């Protein structure tokens, strides 16, 4: 039988065992609490300093030369926002090329000018043997009318004396005068007909004397008379740089007939070209038509980039480029809207084997890039496209201060292939020198210097003291 004393001992042992089991199973909680109460708190001065992003880098003079860095003072200016439109140089219809046709039915017996040759107005191109019955009849009629005129003049001389004395009626003298006027009119018509057929004035005089023409020379045509309505179009001309050639000159571009071939009146014999007056033909999309129309109406100048143009070997091209007109139809293949800008070409020539050959600076088919102005931006800063570097939404430029370059965040208003337009919002003070190129390389150097722990904006003395740059 258990006594009261034994029962109290057993209860005490049971309570202690329960508390020990509870402490064992909850040790994760109360041990953390005890550790937090016993661990000393670090002083605020022992906390690590916050990381500061590097914005200054240092470059040696040799590094700047290796990068080819150029720095210029920033200054506000006016800039035209443009759209870039591809294009090509094309012939100007009615100005660049001229066709030479046969004046009458005949056969080609001689070719005087071949493709690549340079000819002036009046130079021989072909010799044509006439087969035209109409032309032969015209020559016969001119000869007969000329002889009839001589006979009428002789008759009038014989009748003039008797008519004055009253021996014959004066009406006979009037009849002879009327016949003489009719023959004179016919002679004038025959002469003009033969002149338009390609006969020279001296040949026509020979026909009136009875020497008929069996061959005619087809020559280069004269310059086209200027139209007052299109006074802004200059007559195509060619002048050598070394040996001057006054007036117009053509280049034989293509022959359309062969030697000995029979041709009909009006048949095309050859094509002559003169690339002095050309067109810049731009190919824009339909949604860009309002910009083109605005530029054409206001006469805004268009900037042109010529592909494959060696500017060092030619004189400066000092001429404005303005849109003359827009096409009123969409190209069914490319779905583009064409517009046209006049171009005055440059040329030079050289002589070889007694012949003059011409070389043009711009040629049809040559590619161009057209920058059409659409908006004027005033009081802005303009830098080359290589003067800026981007990191996400941020854009940076670099200000040069001796050997140091400070990275400055900027606001970009417009960007194209060549230029960057920045807002003049106070982030850059006008007059500061900004790097004009190599911004991406400078940013990489800045990142490398920051990763190495070297602060480019701290000056260290020999005694170990340091301070910020002066």
- DSSP secondary structure of 200-223: -HHHHHHHHTT---SEEEEEPPPP
Q: What is the pLDDT of residue 312?
A: 83
Q: Residue 199, Cβ neighbours under 10 Å: how many?
A: 24
Q: What is the pLDDT of residue 229?
A: 39
Strand order in the sheet with 106-111: 215-219, 124-130, 106-111, 262-263
Phi then psi for 423, rounded to 5 degrees? Answer: -75, 135
Q: What is the pLDDT of residue 282?
A: 95
Q: What is the pLDDT of residue 37?
A: 60
In tens digits, the chain (470 residues) has pLDDT values of 556 777 777 777 777 777 777 766 676 666 656 665 655 555 455 555 444 567 888 888 888 888 888 999 999 999 988 899 999 999 998 888 889 998 888 899 999 999 988 888 888 999 988 887 888 888 888 888 888 888 888 888 888 778 777 777 878 888 888 888 998 899 899 888 888 877 778 888 888 888 888 888 888 888 765 433 333 333 333 333 343 444 578 889 999 999 989 998 889 999 999 888 999 999 999 899 999 999 999 999 999 999 888 888 888 888 999 999 999 999 898 899 999 999 999 888 888 887 778 888 999 999 999 999 998 899 999 999 999 999 988 999 999 988 889 999 999 998 888 889 999 988 888 888 999 998 999 988 888 888 776 555 544 443 334 445 54
71 token code pair: 């720095």
456 token code pair: 């480019």
Q: What is the pLDDT of residue 28?
A: 67
Closest CA to 194 of 220, 212, 171: 212
Q: Indicate the helix (H) or strand (E) that contains 135.
A: helix 133-165
User: What residues have CB less than 8 Å from 122, skipping those under 6 apart?
Assistant: 219, 220, 222
Q: What is the pLDDT of residue 225?
A: 59
Q: Where are the alpha helices (DSSP H) in 263-324?
A: 289-298
CA dihedral sign, ordered 53, 55, 59, 63: positive
CA distance 91 to 277: 8
Q: Residue 141, Cβ neighbours under 10 Å: how many?
A: 16
109 token code pair: 């017996």
SS3 259: coil
Cα 240 → chain centroid: 25
| Cα angle: 274, vertex 279, 284; to 5 degrees | 155
239 token code pair: 């002048």
């Amino acid at each position: 039988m258990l006594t009261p004393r034994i029962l109290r001992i057993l209860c005490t042992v049971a309570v202690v065992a329960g508390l020990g089991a509870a402490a064992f199973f909850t040790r994760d909680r109360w041990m953390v609490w005890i550790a937090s109460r016993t661990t000393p708190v670090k002083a605020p001065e022992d906390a690590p300093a916050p990381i500061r992003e590097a914005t200054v880098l240092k470059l040696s003079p040799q590094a700047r030369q290796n990068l080819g860095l150029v720095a210029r003072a920033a200054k506000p200016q006016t800039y035209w926002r443009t759209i870039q439109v591809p294009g090509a140089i094309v012939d100007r219809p009615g100005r660049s090329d001229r066709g030479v046709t046969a004046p009458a039915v005949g056969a080609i017996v001689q070719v005087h000018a071949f493709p690549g040759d340079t000819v002036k107005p009046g130079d021989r191109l072909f010799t044509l043997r006439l087969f035209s019955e109409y032309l032969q009849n015209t020559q016969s009629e001119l000869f007969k009318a000329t002889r009839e005129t001589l006979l009428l003049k002789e008759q009038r001389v014989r009748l003039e004396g008797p008519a004055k004395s009253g021996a014959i009626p004066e009406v006979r003298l009037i009849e002879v005068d009327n016949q003489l006027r009719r023959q004179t009119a016919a002679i004038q018509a025959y002469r003009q007909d033969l002149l338009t057929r390609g006969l020279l004035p001296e040949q026509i005089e020979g026909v009136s004397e009875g020497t008929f023409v069996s061959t005619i020379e087809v020559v280069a045509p004269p310059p086209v008379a200027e139209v007052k309505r299109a006074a802004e179009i200059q007559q195509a001309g060619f002048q050598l740089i070394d040996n001057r050639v006054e007036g117009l000159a053509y280049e034989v571009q293509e022959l359309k007939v062969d030697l000995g071939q029979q041709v009909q009146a009006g048949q095309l014999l050859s094509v002559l070209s003169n690339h002095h007056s050309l067109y810049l033909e731009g190919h824009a999309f339909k949604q860009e038509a309002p910009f083109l129309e605005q530029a054409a109406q206001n006469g805004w100048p268009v900037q042109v980039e010529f592909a494959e143009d060696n500017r060092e070997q030619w004189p400066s091209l000092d001429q404005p480029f303005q849109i003359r007109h827009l096409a009123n139809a969409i190209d069914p293949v490319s779905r583009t809207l064409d517009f046209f800008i006049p171009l005055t070409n440059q040329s030079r020539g050289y002589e070889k084997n007694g012949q003059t050959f011409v070389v043009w600076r711009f040629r049809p088919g040559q590619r161009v890039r057209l920058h059409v102005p659409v908006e004027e931006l005033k009081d802005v800063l303009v830098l080359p496209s290589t003067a800026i570097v981007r990191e996400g939404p941020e854009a940076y430029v670099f200000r040069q201060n001796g050997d140091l370059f400070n990275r400055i965040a900027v606001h970009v208003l417009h960007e194209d292939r060549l230029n960057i337009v920045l807002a003049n919002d106070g982030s850059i003070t006008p007059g500061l020198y900004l790097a004009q190129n190599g911004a991406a390389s400078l940013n990489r150097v800045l990142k490398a210097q920051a990763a190495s722990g070297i602060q480019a904006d701290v000056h260290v003395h020999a005694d170990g003291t340091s301070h910020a740059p002066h």
